[in-house]
Structure 1
């Protein structure tokens, strides 16, 4: 697998992470139970970290 193929995979991951964060944000707005909201916020934090990592990989592969 060459660097362009890897970059494409990480760009795909980045798009999916964005989609997941939007979905979790919508779900978060639907709940009033604080325990559920706190758990969703934790999940969103993890997704955000994955997004940042994918973005860094795309930048590295661009160099």
Structure 2
């Protein structure tokens, strides 16, 4: 992908985030101890980004 296209995409996404037209969705949260469960959630098609809290065990 050309740099100009990447720059344009970043600018568009930044604008959408600032205008709250694009809202990232965090899915289920897991502690580091629950890593196996987090992996299963990904395999089962969890909605949103699966979050691993590496500061909690």
* Structure-1-length-normalised TM-score: 0.32
More helix, by proportion: 1
Q: Which has the larger radius of gyration?
A: 2
More strand, by proportion: 2
* Structure-2-length-normalised TM-score: 0.35
